[in-house]
Amino acid sequence: MKRLHNLFFNTILLTSAALLMRTVGMSFQVWLSGKIGAAGIGLFQLISSVQFLAITFASSGIRFTVTRLVSEQLGLHSEGNISRCVRMCIFYTLSFSIAASCILWLLADTIGGKWIADTRTILSLHILSIGLPFIGISSVFGGYFTAVQRVIKSSGVQIIEQLFKILAIVVCLSKVPDQNVEYACAAVVAGTLAGDILSTVLISVVYVFDLRRYRHSPRKHSPIMRRMFQLAVPLALSSYARSFLSTLQHLLVPANLRRSGASSEASLASYGTIHGMVYPVLTFPFCFFASLSEMLIPELTESQVSGRDDRSDSLVNRMLKLCLLFSIFVAAVLFSFSESLGIVLYSSSEVGGLIKLLSPLVIIMYMDSVTDGMLKGLGQQLHSMKYNILDALLSIAMIYLLLPRYAVRAYIFILFFSDCFNFTLSIRRLSLVSHIRIQIYDILIPVICGIGGVNFAKLFLRLIGFPLSPSASSIVIHVLLSSVVYLMLLYITRIISRRELKEFRILLQ
């Protein structure tokens, strides 16, 4: 029970930090979209897709490798080897991140002019390359704090980084002339770089002080370097392929929208609306399960190393059930309140319509992310990467073939197909390495409860003179009442048992 308390406590801390950062980040994204427009957001998203590829090469699978290595040492009661693990991983990531930084700097003109086909991105790519070594080092320390389950320290650093980053971006943007998208994107990247540098300095200091607790811990002979390469190299190679294909996929979207007859600015605006405005709304509630999924990696690793398969199965089934119940409710809320959300956040009915259209997708997105996290904890990360690569290849083929003919409608279909395909393969793999006990009843009844809870709340509030309106207070009240009714229906239908409520109450105490 003590380990469960620690897992729960660290998850709550990580969730609180993630919720705060996502709230601030979401508010900033709304402000930024009004500042540079949908086309500017689209251009920045293309820069971000290249950044994703560069960061993948800079880190080369190091965050998960650190978490796994440190978790294994904890499971073997060899805490004295932890500092050696972290030290080797820092040298590893510095080698790759410095190389990635140099390559991106030298190829910025080619990438911006030919890959992205927009020379306004070149300046941003040059600035972006400077920050890669800092991101790599921060990944190492982030993996360490996840493994030792002291996420309050890394979370505190992330909050400071986020606030400083936003402040730096606002200051940089204030110096940029209106309607200058090139310098606006460069200002955002420069502010992000300042935040990355500050974060690396702070988390390095925190790590040095935290490591003192293992100064006199026992050491056992362990081939750490060989184990590091066993974990990192296959993961890095597969992540290179996945990231390259993912970046190519994103770069092809505006290009193939232009082939459908749309102008360059309209293509960027459509792409920016979906990925820079709608997707942040869809993924915002996932901060709780993103945190829990990350915390489960070392927990599942230690259970596997110590041979406690029963505990692993229990954690897997609880996590899947919680995520399913949560994602169904989120989908119901987004579908029912989409118009109001679009107007409140972006003053756009178009965004609201896209939120409604994509809302069912959150169930698959959330479940797939959680499943991938548990596969990593169970040592199945290469299978997860293989599925992601296959998914990306199929998506690229469909983007190239369907977008020129069916435009945005085809892209919506591709998003649904991609997530469903990936999740089907991932959950099948998880069922082979653990015993999953979720039945059809556990899916259908929560869907009915979610729809019923949201509609009952809307009807009840309308009857008492508080109908749904495009205002933040109205949406919040409707969501809160909907959640209460949803939980009551889950309890009445015995989807949530009295024993589970008792366990949750004990954890809170």
pLDDT tens column, 329-339: 999 999 999 99
- Quick check: 294 and 146 in contact, CB under 8 A? yes
For the chain, domain boundaries: 2-213+227-438
Here the tokens at position 415 are: 């998003």
pLDDT at 17: 63
- CA distance to 160, 390, 400, per residue, from 394 (Å): 39, 6, 10
- Quick check: 346 and 30 in contact, CB under 8 A? yes
- Quick check: 42 and 272 in contact, CB under 8 A? yes
**Other beta carbons within 10 Å of 205:** 11
pLDDT at 431: 85
pLDDT at 356: 92
pLDDT at 308: 66
Q: Which amino acid is at 167?
A: L
Residue 427's closest CA among 450, 445, 443, 444? Answer: 443
Here the tokens at position 142 are: 């982030």
Average pLDDT of each block of 10 consecutive residues along the chain (509 residues)?
A: 56 63 70 73 81 86 83 73 84 91 91 83 90 91 80 77 85 78 85 90 88 69 76 78 78 79 75 81 78 65 64 78 90 92 84 90 90 79 80 87 85 90 90 82 89 91 85 88 91 80 57
- Please state the three-class secondary structure of 403-448 as a single string: HHHHHHHHHHHHHHHHHHHHHHHHHHHHHHHCCCCCCCHHHHHHHH
DSSP 113: I
- Quick check: 131 and 47 in contact, CB under 8 A? no
**Other beta carbons within 10 Å of 259:** 15
pLDDT at 476: 87
pLDDT at 197: 92
pLDDT at 503: 61
Residue 69's closest CA among 89, 55, 49? Answer: 89
3-state helix, strand, coil in the chain (%, to 5): 85, 0, 15
DSSP 347: S
Question: How big is the CA angle at 446 (ends 500 and 368), to the nearest 5 degrees?
Answer: 90
